[in-house]
Amino acid sequence: MSLTAYRTLGTSGLRVSPLALGAMTFDDGSWGSTPEASFAILERYLDAGGNFIDTANQYNGGKSEETLGRYFGKQPSRRDRIVLATKFGGTLHPTDPNAGGAGRKAIHAQLDESLRRLNTDYIDLYWMHQWDRHTPIEETMSTLDDLVRTGKIRAVGVSNTPAWWVGQAVGIARSRGWESLAALQVEYSLLTRTPEGEQFGAARALGLGVTPWSPLASGVLSGKYSRKVRSVEDSSRAGYAAPQLTESTFVLLEVLAEIAAEHRTAVAAVALAWVRQRSEVTSTLIGARTIEQLNANLASADLSLEQQEIDRLAALTEPVLEYPMNVIRSFGLGFQQGDTTINGVNSTAFARA
């Protein structure tokens, strides 16, 4: 496995690397990476064969997109050789009710602003950043279809969106001949596994790609925390990381460290490889503020975990899924098919305890 082991993204024809570079940390240096450090991170990722870069209009008030735009201005030949993704939905004008969300007016305005900041005339993958409860699905999907037809965007995806909305959107788009969804972007890691229920189920049923974000759980699984190192020094991460530093997490970190030592690699590489080797996952988003962090993450592309290692880690963080997945799991296949074998799947008859 390497960054050049490209995969098609869901129902699209886009070929993407198994690790995508998330640009959320690209900034003016006040919070994340300076533009110069961001350029170095981009060069390292692209030189290693990576081709999938992900950002959003709202990341750092637009500074992430601006940093990428400055890079493309310096390296124009690289723009067409990458799959560039950004997101709409987050408002940059808090007093304007039409500046955010997934309505037609908002989408057009947000896309034009993103294109200007990114210094490009098209987006390869345009994500809806979050479900908009106020806008009809038909308005959102028809608008995105129009933009694909004009060439401003090439493919469509959604992030942080209920599975029922995803299914409805795909059904409407396919029935009307509109551009449909290609992929889902979901929070997924060894510490956040509830997407294995509805979100992964929708992806499998509809043929959608999956790109996990925060696969290191806001840095908790990066290797910098242990029973001896429990404090979160980065105040911007404290609200996300601190609540997850529990006894069960420290047990998981110890097993990750043990497996990492056996493979002579970093804890982060093992945690990322576990996510990457999930069958539903197409490309995993990695982020970095420094070249050192990026190199540790890139190492996961060359790591292949044994099935027993995957199972061992999975057993430590078995998710509690919401209804109806919890009932379906507790009943098992035997509730329907008894002691028979169907399509090669064996089962034992369900017996109420």
* Per-residue model confidence as pLDDT tens digits over 60-91: 999 999 999 999 999 999 999 999 999 999 99
Nearest to 145 by CA among 166, 167, 120, 170: 170
| % of the chain surpassing 90 pLDDT | 84
Q: What is the pLDDT of residues 89-106, one digit of tens each?
A: 999 999 999 999 999 999
Question: In this predicted structure, what is the pLDDT of residue 172?
Answer: 98
Name the amino acid, one letter, at 102.
A
Contact 118/153 with Cβ under 8 angstroms? no
The pLDDT tens digits of the residues spanning 109-157 come to: 999 999 999 999 999 999 999 999 999 999 999 999 999 999 999 999 9
CA distance 287 to 88: 20
Can you tell me which residue has the tokens 């908009």? 132
Average pLDDT of 237-263?
Answer: 90
The reported pLDDT for the residue numbered 65 is 98
Residue 329 pLDDT greater than 60, yes or no:
yes
pLDDT tier at 107, thresholds 50, 70, 90: very high
Nearest to 184 by CA among 173, 195, 171, 172: 195
Superfamily of domain 7-318: NADP-dependent oxidoreductase domain (3.20.20.100)
Q: Could you give the CA distance from residue 276 to residue 16 in angstroms, rounded to a whole number?
A: 13
Residue pLDDT, tens place only, 39-49: 999 999 999 99
Amino acid occupying residue 145? D
**Reported confidence tier of residue 238, pLDDT bands at 50, 70, 90:** low
Q: Of 222, 285, 229, whose CA–CA distance to 257 is shortest?
A: 222
Q: What is the pLDDT of residue 2?
A: 87
The span from the CA of 150 to the CA of 165, in Å, is 25
Does 240 qualify as catalytic in the annotation?
A: no
- Pairing type for strands 183-187 and 209-213 reads parallel
Residue 242 has pLDDT above 90, yes or no: no
Cβ atoms of residues 20 and 53 within 8 Å: yes
Q: What span, in angstroms and rounded, lies between the C-alpha atoms of 232 and 194?
A: 25
pLDDT confidence band for 30 (50 / 70 / 90): confident
Distance (Å, rounded) from C-alpha 308 to C-alpha 313?
A: 9
Contact predicate 27/292, CB 8 Å = no
| Locus of tokens 């808090």 | 94
Tell me if the bond preceding 324 is cis, omega within 30° of 0: yes
Alpha-carbon distance of 103 to 135, in angstroms, equals: 6
Regarding beta strands 156-159 and 183-187, do their DSSP bridges make them parallel or antiparallel, or are they unpaired?
parallel
Split at pLDDT 50, 70, 90, the class of 234 is low
Angle, vertex CA 198, rays to CA 192 and CA 199, nearest 5: 65
Of the listed 6, 45, 59, 126, which one is catalytic? Answer: 59
pLDDT band for position 235 (cuts 50, 70, 90)? low
Q: Label each residue of the chain as H, E or C.
A: CCCCCCEECCCCCCEECCEEEECCCECCCCCCECHHHHHHHHHHHHHCCCCEEECCCCHHHHHHHHHHHHHHHHCHHHHHHCEEEEEECCCCCCCCCCCCCCCHHHHHHHHHHHHHHHCCCCECEEEECCCCCCCCHHHHHHHHHHHHHHCCECCEEEECCCHHHHHHHHHHHHHHCCCCCCEEEEECECCECHHHCHHHHHHHHHCCEEEEECCCCCCCCCCCCCCCCCCCCCHHHHHHHHHHCCHHHHHHHHHHHHHHHHHCCCHHHHHHHHHHCCCCCCCEEECCCCHHHHHHHHHHHHCCCCHHHHHHHHHHCCCCCCCCHHHHHHHCCHHHHCCCEECCEECCCCCCC
What average pLDDT does the structure give for the chain? 94
According to DSSP, the residues that pair with 210 across neighbouring strands are 184
| Stronger pLDDT, 100 or 32, i.e. the higher one | 100
Query: What integer pLDDT is reported at residue 352 of this predicted model?
Result: 76
> Domain locations in the chain?
7-318, 323-353
The most distant pair of C-alpha atoms in the chain lies apart, rounded to whole Å, by 67
- Spatial contact of 18 and 52, defined as CB atoms under 8 Å apart: no
Between 195 and 350, residue with greater pLDDT: 195
